[in-house]
Amino acid sequence: MTRKEIIGDVGEIVIKVGTSSITMGGSGASQDFMDSVATQVKKLKDGGMDVLIVTSGAIGIGLAVMDAHPKPNEVPIRQAAASVGQGILMQKWNDSFQKQGMVVAQILLTLDFYSDREKYLNLRNTIQTLLAHNVVPIINENDAICVKEIDAMFGDNDTLSAVLASKMDADLLIILSDVDGLYDKNPKLHKDAKIIPTVSEIDDSIIAMAGDPTSNVGVGGMRTKIKAAQICKDAGCNMIIASSSVPDVITRTVSGEEIGTIFVADKKMRRQKRVWIKTASSSGKLTVDDGAAGAVKKHLSLLAVGIMEVKGNFDRGDVVDIECGGKVIAKGVPDYGSSEIDRIKGLHSEKIQEILGHKNYDNVIRSENIALL
Domain ranges of the chain: 3-265, 272-372
- 100, 39 Cβ separation under 8 angstroms: yes
- Give buried/exposed letters for 168-196 (b at 16+ CB in 10 A, else e): bbbbbbbbbbbbbbbbeeebeeeeeeebb
Q: Please, are residues 308 and 322 in contact by the beta-carbon 8 Å criterion?
A: no
Q: What is the pLDDT of residue 114?
A: 65
Q: Contact at 8 Å (CB) between 22 and 63?
A: no
Asked whether the predicted pLDDT for residue 148 surpasses 60, the reply is: no
Residues 20-30 have a mean pLDDT of: 82
CA-CA distance, 189 to 193, in Å (whole number)? 8
Tell me what the mean pLDDT of segment 68-80 comes to.
79
Residue-wise pLDDT for 160-207, tens only, equals 899 899 888 888 999 998 889 998 887 778 888 899 999 998 888 888
Q: Per CATH, which fold does 272-372 belong to? A: 2.30.130
Q: Look at the domain 3-265 and name its fold.
A: Carbamate kinase (3.40.1160)
Q: At residue 53, does pLDDT exceed 90?
A: yes
Which amino acid, residue 228? A
Distance in angstroms (rounded) separating the CA atoms of residues 101 and 108: 23
Give the pLDDT score at 313. Answer: 95
Residue 278 backbone dihedrals phi, psi, to 5 degrees: -65, -35
Which of the pair, 143 or 328, is modelled with greater confidence? 328
49, 162, 191, 248, 324 from 236: Cα distances, Å? 18, 11, 34, 25, 30
272-320 pLDDT tens trace: 677 778 878 899 999 999 999 999 988 789 999 999 999 999 998 899 9
Angle between helices 58-66 and 75-98 (to 10 degrees): 110
Which residues are 177's β-sheet partners? 243
Among residues 325, 294, 225, 166, the alpha carbon closest in space to that of 18 is found at: 225
Tell me the three state secondary structure of residue 12. strand
Cβ–Cβ under 8 Å, residues 323 and 283 = no
Give me the chain's average pLDDT, please.
86
Name the pairing type of β-strands 327-332 and 370-372: antiparallel
Q: Over the Cα atoms of the chain, what is R_g?
A: 21
From CA 331, how far away is CA 274, in angstroms rounded?
A: 9
